[in-house]
A and B are shown apart, each in its own frame.
Chain A
């Protein structure tokens, strides 16, 4: 089946951004800390996929549950051992944010060490590697093209179900809105925060496994994604999981298709400026709709558009 590779790129990249923006938004909604180490949780997933395929010679999809657990645990460690003590000592949000940057530096260094160690131990390329050949195919198309959107849909469905149908999920929503009142009714707020950090990191790990089947793997892969993840979350309002989904799709599609269309019009030299796309999204959103898609009063907007038309 012939399919313009740009469509695969758009679908896969958007799915990955949705998953990463969801996790980042979830941790931001609970603890109110913008986590700059988030993308490196995905890089961990990339390296787990590397080990599973090249060293164990297994299907890359085996890496999914492992990355879920490991990235989730690293994320929980950031909250438990760095943020929680800082918050207890009354650290301001800016300090908490910078501590996540510091954690990211440590994490990237650790991933680099792990990469070197993998070369040393198994004689496997661990920088600028690609795992696309390990992916299965379906109708002559890479499997990840189908797996990524389906997996995202499943995760979103599970999240929605948990948040609205289970007692703990409702407690999470309660804690996001009003941590003081939540503790008054007996909810262990810090435990809820810990769970959301685990889930946020775990989703990033899953995104990382899918990244490994599409992008060139490298310890710095996450760093290049950070502006796009923040753009997706900010466009989504940073306060709503559904906003993060919309933001991920919008920014992902714009980066892939927008760059292609503009390059087609003005020349291919523009492709090099693709990293500007997320930054433009951040600036525009913060200027005209600081609360993002989630903050737009759609009903009111529709009414106003209707009035101006008639």
Chain B
């Protein structure tokens, strides 16, 4: 089925200040699908996500969200447009309580919608309930990751970008989180962009895969295509089937 693009990146050259990390990348996230980005450490996966959120320096190229050009928009306006982003690091406010973190995550929502979704987050991650009033820097690594995930879920935007949401989680919980990602797509029709180390698992439900290497796209295609090419899996993803 051919879908429209929710996010499309064309000819992107970007980095931090004067450096160039992303070097001519084209990337498409189809509407209501899960697009996976994989690649070795330092290949520029996180930087690519930051570009889509106005947090990196874009030298040339463009980022479009639906029909809108968001290349040079400020992050807080992009957030209001309906994109949520779970950063890889520093993804919770450590000096704020768990409740305050969720409140901030829903900064742009009205209070009624927030109350409901807030409860929904606590239902999804019951481990967080007893820490409601605690400062986030007292949480364990895994609990912090759940909170960060919850902060993205509370928004229920049109597009969600997750940067390694399963880092620090036990294999069991990592599975649950990825199931949650699939659930978000299936039940709410949300477009998902997922950077994930756990490639094998991600391939199982991802729709399309982009492999980044050295700031360039080394491969891009559907999950089936990737699985059909053991060479690709070996070289870039470190998995053998």
By a beta-carbon cutoff of 8 Å, the part of chain A in contact with chain B is 90, 167, 170-171, 173-174, 177-178, 180-189
Contact = CB atoms under 8 A, between A and B. Distances in A.
B96 A180 contact: no
A187 B76 contact: yes
A24 to B, nearest CB: 20
Contacts of A180: 55, 75, 87, 90
A185 B105 contact: yes
Contact of A184 (B17, B87, B95): B87
Contact of B79 (A90, A173, A185): A185
A181 B107 contact: no
Across chains A and B, which 10 residue pairs bring their CB atoms closest together, nearest first? A183-B75, A186-B79, A186-B108, A183-B76, A186-B107, A174-B93, A188-B76, A185-B107, A174-B104, A177-B95
Contact of B80 (A167, A173, A186, A189): A186
B124 interface: no
B76 A167 contact: no
A158 to B, nearest CB: 19
* Listed residue (A177, A181, A184, A188) with the most chain B CB atoms within 10 angstroms of its CB: A184
B5 interface: no
Contacts of B79: 183-186
B151 interface: yes
Interface string B94-112: 1110001001111110000
B46 interface: no
Given A174-B100, A180-B55, A184-B53, 7 more contacts: A174-B93, A174-B96, A178-B90, A181-B90, A182-B76, A183-B76, A185-B79
A178 B119 CA distance: 25
Contacts of B105: 185
Interface string B108-137: 100000000000000000000000000000
A185 B90 contact: no
B214 interface: no
A171 B55 contact: no
A195 to B, nearest CB: 14
Contact of B85 (A170, A177, A182, A184): A184
A37 B93 CA distance: 31
Contacts of B198: none
A92 to B, nearest CB: 12
B222 interface: no
B93 A186 contact: no
Contact of B94 (A167, A177, A184): A177
A187 to B, nearest CB: 6
B93 A177 contact: yes
A248 B67 CA distance: 54
A183 B96 CA distance: 16
B7 to A, nearest CB: 16
Interface in B41-87: 53-55, 74-76, 79-80, 85, 87
A186 B76 contact: yes
B87 A170 contact: no
A217 B53 CA distance: 51
B55 A167 contact: no
Given A90-B17, A180-B55, A180-B75, A185 B104 contact: yes
Given A183-B79, A187-B76, A171 B95 contact: no
B104 A171 contact: yes
Contact of B76 (A90, A174, A178, A189): A189
Contacts of A184: 53, 55, 75, 79, 85, 87
A170 B104 contact: yes
Given A180-B90, A185-B105, A185-B107, A173 B76 contact: no
A184 B104 CA distance: 10
